[in-house]
Chains A and B, each alone.
Chain A
Amino acid sequence: MRKILTRGALTLAFLAGPALAAGGGGFKLLDTHFKFEGPLGTYDYAAVQRGFQVYKEKCAACHSMSLLSYRNLRDIGLSEAAVKAIAADVMVDDIDDKGAKVERPGRPSDRFRSPFANEAAARAANNGASPPDLSLIVKARVDGARYVYSLMQGYDDMAKASAADRAIMDGYAKKATGDAKATFAMATGRNFNTHFPGMQIAMPQPLRDGDVTYVDGTKNDLPQLSKDLVSFLAWASEPKMEERKNTGVKVIIFMLILAGLMYAVKRKVWAGVH
């Protein structure tokens, strides 16, 4: 048994390279600027709130965000009452005084409710692919913010692919099968998405123009919805980012002054020596 595992793991490690090459490259991610980028960037909380709405309405049916609790939504500027109402909207499993399983309305201290009871149920409902938890998705992908932003807009009609695109797609197929004549073909239950590694994703297009209506009247075309959504997912990946950057500025200033002082002391001490 171990021999098999051993061999398997090593072979996987050594074959891993080509698989990556098959996944990366190809279509460039869409470009956009997020306010939270850069050493001093901060979250745009209006966008984060709108993004939460998008998640709640369009993604929560399939994707859990189990690292978040409803109370965390206070940090993006929602009122206590609003958080309570959002939590109370879902039913969560619990155990009553007599030990019986019950369902009760959620409280702010509850974790975001997961849509599926377990991984098997999630797979069964999604063509055998399980929708990943989104709590850390922006950190868990290379250039995560831009990647999710592009993924949302990467659904396309395969028939319309240009000759150059075709060549890239066939390249994937060649790498994946090791057959120099292989051409790209969609598997059943998969959707064509130019930004997903391998270009075939089990998730049907989850977001389209006008899918979510914002109360504040912000426009709701696909790029805007995607951008707001990513703002929310980025905040969820690192809620302490602003604290980190703010502390960092103070620490760096302190260290610069300390370095200056240390250098002056060193110069003074060494003045007589050389």
Chain B
Amino acid sequence: MSSSQGAPAFTNPIVKWIDRRLPIFTFMHHEYGVFPTPRNFNYWWSFGGIAMVMLITMIVTGIVLAMNYTPHVDFAFDSVERIMRDVNYGWLLRYLHVNGASFFFIAVFIHIFRGLYYGSYKNPRELLWILGVVILLLMMATAFMGYVLPWGQMSFWGATVITNLFSALPVIGDPIVTLLWGGFSVDNPTLNRFFSLHYLLPFVIVGVVVLHVTAMHVAGSNNPIGIDPKGPQDTLPFSPYYVTKDGFAVVAFLLVYLAFVFFAPDFFGEPENYVKADRLVTPPHIVPEWYFLPFYAILRAVPDKLGGVLAMFGAILVLFVLPWLDTARVRSARFRPIYKWFFWLLVVDCFVLGYCGANPPEGYFIPLSRVATLYYFAHFLVILPVLGKIERPLPLPNSIAESVLGGARK
């Protein structure tokens, strides 16, 4: 395999003909064939590719589900059950889609925390990181609207609670809620527009993913030691090295995902959503899907409605400015002895928030969620700016090759 940067010599005449006029084969060759990739990736670097596979899985299963689904309040619930019972392999499609959403979020959360640990958001990758946060926001919107589609009790009441949040915003709040609802409450127009947007947004995500990947190919990948490759000895061509490594990671991840699809398909679900939506009966406990729980906890931790809404959105918005909040020059936590600890504290904090979000806001959950919320913001707004100034990083290796081949690997 040559790793020259020039246009490859294609032998197939058709490929040659096309490539002269539209160099897609040259493009693929450069960006995925010989693309110089740091040689020291660990498996945490596979989660970008895994997220991509999940996005494609969601789109494919979603499109086929949409062929059998009816977006109307009187038929939506039954049409989903018809998919489960009467459509050939409909149960499989639906379970793939439902659990796919959870595993898509698992992959993306790991991908994000990978970035946090190894400082992948720092110069020159700020835009790359910001595009990633945009993807996260779009995913959350998509998943939220998707969850409304089966029109179960949680679909309806979740939609009611979450859309109502926007009414807390001054001036623009009420018009936004009216636009979301298409009427005076969550009803058929809401379901219709959510279905339309649920179909649209994944393709917007694809668009942003293209930008995200393009930005990555400009800046190059970060790597576990966070120093830039200095020459060919520090990199490997993407193919075959990372094609095989990511390929194995994808299969291993899908194995776990499929184990849930086939043997615990309702594990991430709420039993209450197998009850058809009923606007006269409020479920005893309205909870969002698990991937929203930390944000839900932040929302409820603030005793004021507007404050809660702002804090919830702030929890994501703060990620946009993270590249400028973290003042440390060294990227990888491997060489940041103190940051390393704060990173793990943040992970624990997010789990604590998730736990609070899953439980009723009473008893000790109230102080716990408040402390966890404060800590979440303190991590980004206080700890990171200060830490960068006072922490003394460990000495960096001279090159990637040295750190990989010269023994002493942490």
Contact = CB atoms under 8 A, between A and B. Distances in A.
| Chains A and B bind each other | yes
Contacts of B177: 2, 6
A269 B285 contact: no
Interface string A13-31: 1101111111100000000
A16 B285 contact: yes
Contacts of B185: 2, 5
A22 B283 CA distance: 13
Nearest to B240: A269
Nearest to B40: A274
B404 A247 contact: no
A133 B81 CA distance: 14
Contacts of A133: 276
Given A12-B286, A240-B91, A262-B248, A67 B161 contact: no
A240 B240 CA distance: 41
A9 B39 contact: no
Given A21-B360, A136-B274, A270-B241, A244 B285 contact: no
Nearest to A1: B184
Interface in B224-267: 236, 240-241, 244-245, 247-248, 251-252, 254-255, 258-259, 261-263, 265-266
B47 interface: no
B31 interface: no
A263 B275 contact: no
Interface string B144-180: 0000000000000100110010010000001001000
A156 to B, nearest CB: 23
Interface in A129-185: 132-133, 135-136, 139-142, 144
Interface string A221-256: 000000000000000011110011101110110011
A186 interface: no
A265 interface: yes
B6 interface: no
B248 A67 contact: no
Contacts of B252: 259
Contacts of B284: 16, 19-20, 22-23, 197
B274 A139 contact: yes
Contacts, number: 133
B262 A244 contact: yes
Name A's interface SS. Answer: helix
B285 A19 contact: yes
A17 B286 CA distance: 8
A270 B245 contact: yes
Contacts of B404: 274
A82 interface: no
A34 B334 CA distance: 51
A89 to B, nearest CB: 23
Contact of A252 (B259, B276, B361, B362): B259
Range of interface residues on chain A? 35 or more
B93 to A, nearest CB: 12
Nearest to A239: B85
A248 B263 contact: yes
B84 interface: yes
A265 B244 CA distance: 7
A266 interface: yes
A212 B55 CA distance: 52
Contacts of B160: 9
Interface in B261-293: 261-263, 265-266, 271-272, 274-276, 282-286
A9 B262 contact: no
Contact of A10 (B161, B244, B262): B161
A90 interface: no
B359 interface: yes
A17 B236 contact: no
A136 B251 contact: no
Nearest to A237: B274
A258 B164 contact: no
Contact of A247 (B248, B254, B262, B282): B262
Given A17-B359, A270-B241, 9 more contacts: A6-B167, A9-B160, A16-B286, A21-B360, A67-B81, A240-B85, A249-B262, A252-B259, A274-B39
Interface of B: 39, 78, 81, 84-85, 91-92, 95, 157, 160-161, 164, 167, 174, 177, 184-185, 236, 240-241, 244-245, 247-248, 251-252, 254-255, 258-259, 261-263, 265-266, 271-272, 274-276, 282-286, 300, 305, 359-362, 404-405
21 contacts: A9-B164, A10-B164, A12-B282, A19-B284, A22-B284, A39-B263, A72-B85, A135-B81, A142-B271, A197-B284, A240-B84, A240-B85, A243-B91, A244-B95, A247-B92, A248-B261, A251-B262, A259-B251, A266-B247, A269-B244, A274-B404
